[in-house]
A and B are shown apart, each in its own frame.
Chain A
Amino acid sequence: MYQHNGEEIFVIDGHVHLWDATEDNIKHDGGEEFIQCFYDYHTTFTPEERQWDLDEYRRYGADRMVEDLFSNAATDMAIFQPTYLTDFYTEGFNTTEQNAELATEYPERFVLNGTFDPRDGEDGLEYLEELHEKYEIPGVKLYTAEWRDDSKGWRLDDEEAFEFLEKCQELGIENIHAHKGPTIRPLNRDAFDVKDVDDAASSFPELNFIVEHVGLPRLDDFCWIAAQENNVYGGLAVAAPFAQNRPGKFSEIMSELLWWLGEDRVLFGSDYALWNPDWLVEEVLEAELTQEHRAEYGVEWDIETKKKVMGENIAELYDIDIEAKRRAFQDDEISQQFGLEDHYASEEPAAADD
């Protein structure tokens, strides 16, 4: 739990991966381009002294991940969001099965999400059922720009996609995370266009649609849709690191999000291993909105808002009981490993003086 001005904030990182981009696993140029692109994002926003080298970035492994996420208690829990990319990587880039390696070892600390691809048809529906049966996945991460043979992407409002969303509803898989982020490699069509979320969200009001990367570079389309569909949420992965090297821009993006979506529908995510939560959480929590933006938008990045965005909002979506978790973490394996027993055992601190 992050200590902030005398208060404790339970942090759930809503967007993490355990990926493998080693050269042995790459089967298409796109795979190498993809990890190089990630690495440029990494070095762009990571403080210089915290940057990784490309080799460790290709494959960091389970132990390092656990340490990066939990050792200093900046993060308390994390949610795996798989990215298959099986046309680019022989064994996939970051599959549910790869993520399950850790998620099943530390079930209290990780939430494991699955995925679907409507282009897989009947086989895909079966696979989704399998994932649900085997891992009880509470959500899926969808990558609409994924290449599959001749196809360079799909849309959430396709008829085929609706069949899969119906299946999710039937199975009780309520959290639909759609990657709507920076354009990596579409040709002319925009496979990360966020507009397809609109129809899907209004057609499936019982599902939660979490738009990852708050739609950047389509923040405008995203906010407009979210303003009308109250089951649409914004994941901060990629927007969060602006707090580190462009604080004025972070203030502006956050002000827009809080104005259009409100403080209940914005969710923190580090996008690990793009960025490490061990420094990012601090940067985001210590960030401030500028006086100008506070006056202009009439919103606050105060302690209550921070608690919601950093953990409470996503806990609500995933039925996580934060107080029960806190008690459980007083002597779980990870607390023992990193000597955090006292950290979680501490009494609820007195309210801050100010």
Chain B
Amino acid sequence: MSARMPDGPTRAAVRDRLDRVTDPELDRSIVELEYIDSIEIDGEHVSVAFTLPTAWCSPAFAWMMAVDARDEVESLPAVETARITLAEHMHETEINRGVNERLSFADAFPDADGDVEAVRAELDEKARVARQYDAVETLLEAGLDAETIVDLRLRDLEAAGSGANTAQSGSTEAAIDDETVAIYAADRSFAVSVPVAPLESYLEKARETGLVTEPDERLFRTPEGEPIPLDSFDLVHRRGRLAQVNMSSQGGICDGLREAREGRLEKTADD
């Protein structure tokens, strides 16, 4: 083994890793959603406790979050093990045991049919569609038209600074700063600078879902993963908006349930 840091990770580093874990249904960080109850660091061993909005949250979703939290925290060089504890969930025993003993979902839940990867893939695809809406809005606001947007390829994106390495490295001609990206359009005859965040966020999911990996591949797709026919541009964009409304509505339900449950537990504690 390589040399380890003597003092383990910082709290900030652990938090930063957990911030990358999303609630797969809402596509929002579990840190931002305030699911994390505690982080304890004991040298190279980290313990994370979290609670979901209701005890009835899908066990498959809870499993994904617990596994992702474990893997993200353990990806820190200063961490030897991460122990994850889900509280107040109807399947907390199976999930905590399964995740900490590194079982597969199917082994942790013998009465489930198969694994959770198909569920994860479907939710990733929805997150990709919702993120595409923001990315496309950004381009429309920058003045690009539908015809240009449906034809964009990965190679037409060029990152500005080193912190935003969106496509191929190398070109910094159109660089303005770390927060913008150059979009080359019309056979690279001109470039437009746009905020990088929505495009980076989109690309992250587009890559995760295996849709856009090669420089020549079309950047934006229908929800089914196909290139967008020009005459369907508006409809596909509407579907992206709809995917966002779906996620934020469900987020509203989850927020409400979390508050209701906190209220109920506080009331019980007062009695």
Which of B56, B118, B243, B259 sits near A33, CB closer than 8 Å?
B56
CB of A219 within 8 A of chain B? yes
A216 and B253 within 8 A (CB): yes
CB of B229 within 8 A of chain A? no
CB of B186 within 8 A of chain A? no
Which of A40, A150, A239, A246 sits near B111, CB closer than 8 Å?
A150
Which of A33, A185, A245, A256 sits near B242, CB closer than 8 Å?
A256
Give Cα A302–Cα B247 distance, bound, in whole angstroms: 27
Digit string of A242-260 for contact with B (CB within 8 Å is 1, else 0)? 1001100100110010011
Query: How many A-B contacts if CB must be within 8 Å?
Result: 108
Q: Which residues of A contact B257 (CB under 8 A)?
A: 40-41, 44
Which of A186, A224, A249 sits near B249, CB closer than 8 Å?
A249
Q: Which residues of B contact A37 (CB under 8 A)?
A: 54-56
Which of A123-131, A187-195, A304-312 lies on the face that meets chain B? A187-195
Which of A36, A184, A188 sits near B116, CB closer than 8 Å?
A188
A186 and B263 within 8 A (CB): no
Q: Which residues of A contact B131 (CB under 8 A)?
A: none
On chain A, the number of residues with a Cβ less than 8 Å from chain B's Cβ atoms is 37
CB of A22 within 8 A of chain B? no
Query: Which residue of chain B has its CB nearest to the CB of A215?
Result: B246
Q: Which residues of B contact A256 (CB under 8 A)?
A: 241-242, 245
Digit string of B46-80 for contact with A (CB within 8 Å is 1, else 0)? 00000000111111100000000000000000000
CB of A45 within 8 A of chain B? yes
CB of A90 within 8 A of chain B? no
Q: Which residues of B contact A183 (CB under 8 A)?
A: 56-58
CB of B264 within 8 A of chain A? yes
Give Cα A246–Cα B119 distance, bound, in whole angstroms: 29
On chain B, the number of residues with a Cβ less than 8 Å from chain A's Cβ atoms is 42
Q: What distance in Å separates the Cβ of A82 from its nearest Cβ neighbour in chain B?
A: 21
Given A40-B264, A44-B260, A245-B256, A187-B55 contact (CB < 8 Å)? no
CB of B13 within 8 A of chain A? no
B259 and A44 within 8 A (CB): yes
CB of A98 within 8 A of chain B? no
Q: What distance in Å separates the Cβ of B230 from its nearest Cβ neighbour in chain A?
A: 20
Query: Which residue of chain A has its CB nearest to the CB of B109?
Result: A187
Given A37-B56, A224-B239, A43-B248 contact (CB < 8 Å)? no
Give Cα A93–Cα B189 distance, bound, in whole angstroms: 67
CB of A217 within 8 A of chain B? yes
Query: Which residue of chain A has its CB nearest to the CB of B263?
Result: A43
Digit string of B222-265 for contact with A (CB within 8 Å is 1, else 0)? 01000000000000001101110111111011001101110110
B249 and A33 within 8 A (CB): no
Give Cα A40–Cα B262 distance, bound, in whole angstroms: 10
B239 and A220 within 8 A (CB): yes
Most interface-central of A189, A217, A224 (chain B CB within 10 A): A217
Given A40-B54, A188-B60, A260-B242, A219-B111 contact (CB < 8 Å)? no
Given A219-B249, A249-B249, A185-B56 contact (CB < 8 Å)? yes
Given A40-B54, A185-B90, A187-B111, A216-B256 contact (CB < 8 Å)? no
CB of A218 within 8 A of chain B? yes
A223 and B242 within 8 A (CB): yes
Give Cα A220–Cα B250 distance, bound, in whole angstroms: 11
B249 and A216 within 8 A (CB): yes
B-to-A contact residues, CB < 8 Å: 25, 54-60, 90, 105, 109, 111-116, 118-119, 126, 129, 223, 238-239, 241-243, 245-250, 252-253, 256-257, 259-261, 263-264
CB pairs A–B below 8 angstroms (21 shown): A37-B55, A37-B56, A43-B264, A44-B253, A44-B259, A183-B56, A186-B60, A187-B112, A188-B105, A188-B116, A189-B112, A189-B113, A189-B114, A217-B246, A220-B126, A220-B129, A220-B245, A238-B253, A249-B249, A252-B245, A256-B241
Other A-B pairs, 11, CB within 8 Å; known A40-B260, A216-B246, A220-B242: A33-B90, A40-B257, A44-B259, A183-B56, A183-B57, A183-B58, A189-B112, A189-B113, A220-B243, A238-B253, A260-B242
